[in-house]
Structure 1
């Protein structure tokens, strides 16, 4: 302790009069009241809705940003989408939606900026509250030190001296009562110092609590600033990049289609030339008659001759059989005629 600090504690100790119970009850009461005021201020800070409202507004902004998705511009459209979607319609829709969302983001951004200003004001107020609480904490410590000094002096000197006086029976009939009152005042001072210690413990707990609330406010304020300074501009930059990439992809697709068409035309022309040349050279290299045609004609001629010979043979056999049959028929007719002639000659003689 510095001499000035020791002198301040000694001054506080002089405020304690063990013969006056009121001085014991009043001792440290002002410091306790200031600690109570600090606790009340902390409670008001805890009930402050600014932090919760700022957090909800920040969440609303982030939800709005996430809801506006431009990643689908990086996807290649399907076959039917390319047929039924007009050129630029998708980009126009994205831009229209952006204009709508932009107004929402600006409104939420203004609210966040207001919240940030109030949070910074709360940080400054909490800083003053912390300094006041720390001052009161030290004041309580000084009162406790002063009370301990009085208790030590009372236990070490005042009470033993009065006990000796009572023991020696000096004829002072009120000495025992004064001893009893002194002991009661000492006990009351001990309880008072104990209460001051409890109050100082509350003040000690308030210090980190104040810092915690202050750090949360500063962190939220910093987060709001980061979102407004970084997230929103980056979101707009992402949109611009996505649109630029989309248009670049469309241009690249057009160039690719033109290149593919050129390649298909070159390939088709080469294939057509090849087929035409093949057909022409094939016809040019053919003879007057195809060997296959000659072979077929020869086979047909051979078959025709063979059929003619076969038919002639069959006709010859049929004629021979017919001649034999005719000869038999002629013989039958002769026999019948001969029989008829014999019958006619035999009838007159009878």
Structure 2
């Protein structure tokens, strides 16, 4: 993952920057002029929290808002585009880093360790023939299994150590990614605050003056000037809304980075536990197992036949009991359980109810949509005949 971020992104995050002339590799096409109609006043949205900004950054926002010209179509089009471009590039890098992470491979390696450890404790062949086949070479067979398992485990441990080092580097890189995301979030916040402040100033002062002038003179050019300024304000407001969406994405990215980082740290800890605890414990237990096998071989030879006979009698009795009970239980069971029939019937009834409800809701929504379209058509016709009022 550390190779996926470009040189600019790998630098430590600095101070947020604001610009009205961003450098864009892919220039956006100019947006078409909006329809110039007067819009009713809307309820003011909740104020954006600026507590994360320092006093210097707040002053930067105030100064930057004075440089904004809402009459400049090019400025509106590119406002905050630089920050959005950096955020988009950052998101691509973060996505690529997640795609390259194959934590499943680490889990497979750890599972392989378990398989190798269990292979040493393979089930022994049962019965008299198994006893005589093993006999004297049982200890040699155990040692051969131990040597094979140990070699395979050592190879897997080497691969796990390589993954552990890579995951540790990735966790450190995710810390830098988190800081970069935080800087982008703050920068977007500053763009939004500056834009909203300028927009409020234009609407409260400039736009009201133009509307008052249009009503006072009654001239078409004055009314058009007010309409033009309102349209530019609306476009700028939409641009600020787009920046707010990008800011929300940045806010959501932060916990996602931490989740990925926590997953990697968890795997590092799991690998560490496997290397320093599981493997040494297994080796010590294997040494004990070999010692116990040496001392128990003589006793095992004496008791094997007696134990086998007792086990055979017990198993036959248990098998007889199990098979008899299963046959009796199955013979008393019906072809189809009543619970299955009840569940099928309830599901069928619920299906009919849901289909009827969906059809009812569909008819209601279509009627509401038709009424709303008629209302919007009437409102549009009415507004097109009006001029802005003070």
Q: TM-score, normalised by structure 2?
A: 0.58
Match of 1:199 among 224, 236, 246: 246
Q: Secondary structure at the match of 1:19?
A: coil
Q: Which has the larger radius of gyration?
A: 1
Q: Which residue of 2 aligns with 1:62?
A: 114
- Pairing partner for 1:121 from 147, 159, 169: 169
Distance between the aligned counterparts of 2:200 and 2:177, measured in 1? 34
**Structure 2 residue aligned with 1:16:** 68
Between the aligned partners of 1:240 and 1:190, the Cα distance in structure 2 is 75
Question: Where does residue 106 of structure 1 map in the other structure?
Answer: 154
Q: Give the Å deviation of 1:249.
A: 3.5
Checking the alignment, whether the CA contact within 8 Å between 1:35 and 1:136 is kept in structure 2 is yes
Q: How large is the Cα RMSD of the aligned pairs?
A: 2.7
Aligned to 1:245: 292
CA distance in 1, matches of 2:228, 2:145: 85
Normalized per residue, the structure richer in helix is 1
Write the distance in 2 (CA, Å) between the matches of 1:85 and 1:109: 32
- CA 1:83/1:107 → structure 2, altered by over 3 Å: closer, same or farther? closer
Identify the range of structure 1 (122-131 vs 53-62) with the bigger mean alpha-carbon deviation: 53-62
2:271 equivalent to 1:219: no
Residues 119, 217 of structure 1: 8 Å contact kept? yes
Q: Partners of 1:250 and 1:151 in 2: how far apart?
A: 91
Unaligned runs of 5+ residues in structure 1 are 257-350
Distance 2:271 2:249 in 1: 33
Partner secondary structure for residue 121 of structure 2: coil
Residue in 1 that maps onto 2:185: 137
TM alignment of 1:174-185, pairs within 5 A: 174-185=221-232
- Paired residues of 2:174 and 2:257 also in contact (CA < 8 A): yes
**For the residues of structure 1 that align with 2:122 and 2:279, how far apart are their CA atoms?**
14
| Aligned 1:245-264 pairs, distance under 5 A | 245-250=292-297
Check whether the contact 1:15–1:23 (CA below 8 A) recurs between aligned residues.
no
Question: Can you list the C-alpha shifts for 1:121-165, whole angstroms capped at 9, x where unaligned?
Answer: 111121111110111011111111111111221222221122222
Structure 2 CA distance, aligned partners of 1:215 and 1:66? 30
Write the distance in 2 (CA, Å) between the matches of 1:145 and 1:168: 34
Cα 1:246–1:146 change in 2 (3 A) is same
Residues 66 and 12 (structure 1), Cα distance of their counterparts in 2 relative to 1, 3 Å cut: farther
Q: What is the TM-score with the length of structure 1 in the denominator?
A: 0.65
Write the distance in 2 (CA, Å) between the matches of 1:69 and 1:96: 12
Structure 1 residues 11, 54: closer, same or farther in 2, change over 3 A? Answer: farther
3-state SS of 1:39 partner: helix
Unpaired segments ≥5 residues, structure 2? 1-50, 304-390
Give the Cα–Cα distance (whole angstroms) in 2 for the partners of residues 14 and 90 of structure 1. 89
For 1:167 and 1:82, the matched residues in 2 are separated by: 110
Q: Map of 1:281-296 to 2, 5 A cutoff? A: none
Q: CA deviation at 1:15?
A: 4.0
The aligned counterpart of 1:32 is 84
What is the Cα deviation at residue 169 of structure 1? 2.2
Say if 2:64 and 2:194, in contact at 8 Å, map to a contact too. yes
**8 Å CA contact 1:50, 1:118 repeated in 2:** no
Deviations along 1:193-228, one digit per CA (max 9) or x if unpaired, are 110111111111211111111111111111111111
For the residue of structure 1 that corresponds to 2:69, the secondary structure is coil
In the alignment, structure 1 residue 160 sits paired with structure 2 residue 208: yes
Residue aligning to 1:97: 145
Counterparts of residues 291-302 of structure 1 (less than 5 Å)? none
